[in-house]
Amino acid sequence: MLKDLKEFLLRGNVIDLAVGVIIANAFGAIVNSLITDVITPLFLNPILKAANLKQIAELKWNGIAYGNFLSAVINFLVIGTVLFFIVKSAEKAQSLAKKKEEADFVVSLKNNAPSEVAIVKELKDPSVSHKYSYNSVISAVRDRLSKRNLKLGYKKGFNQYVLSLIIDFYHIKQNEKYAYCHKIGNTEQYTYSQQFVDFIVSEIQKDPQRFVESLRRK
């Protein structure tokens, strides 16, 4: 029984609730002070004096005591406004202080790194700069070759085999201009840029008939 009570009391949501209640009580006192000591003297007292009233609750019209309702509306607006700014400030603070595990990216400097820090002038989205998958590179090159009426001296045409020869021969995966590595766990997946497609077409155009054979020999 005592063990169950201990587990209940030490639950995260129970502790959070207790903290929330305490903060709510303290916050209520702050709001009451704001209304009583700041808003009322500055804004409401002149109006009440003009109406020969001491409290807003005394406001009436044709027998309708709307003073209490007006007071409740003022309290609601003040509390809502204060809560809005508190929540926005908390969200901003959280976004500026993400945990390492939740960060979009992590920047680190090695101990032996030069003291100068390079400024990144342009941020590139890989989905835009390297938008071609392996198969879409093949399709794009085939389309370009067809429009230029270029035919490879390889009976199977431009296919996965030819593309793999190009990637290995020119070390494309080590060239960030042409390839981008997406790391998902322990696996790596590459996408390729428009510049890579242009590069392939320009290399084939030099000697379409002997292009594939030249890759094999080298």
What pLDDT does residue 96 have?
65
pLDDT tens track for 90-113: 778 776 665 555 555 566 666 666
pLDDT tens track for 165-203: 999 999 999 999 999 999 888 889 999 999 999 999 999
**Across residues 52-68, what is the average pLDDT?**
69
Cα distances (Å, whole numbers) of residue 134 to 35, 145, 159, 183, 190? 66, 17, 10, 16, 8
Average pLDDT, the chain: 79
Higher-confidence residue of 209 and 2: namely 209
Q: Has residue 40 got a pLDDT over 60?
A: yes
pTM score, whole prediction:
0.46
Are the C-beta atoms of 134 and 163 separated by less than 8 Å?
yes
Q: Where are the alpha helices (DSSP H) in 97-193?
A: 126-129, 134-147, 160-169
What pLDDT does residue 118 have?
56
Q: Has residue 13 got a pLDDT over 70?
A: no
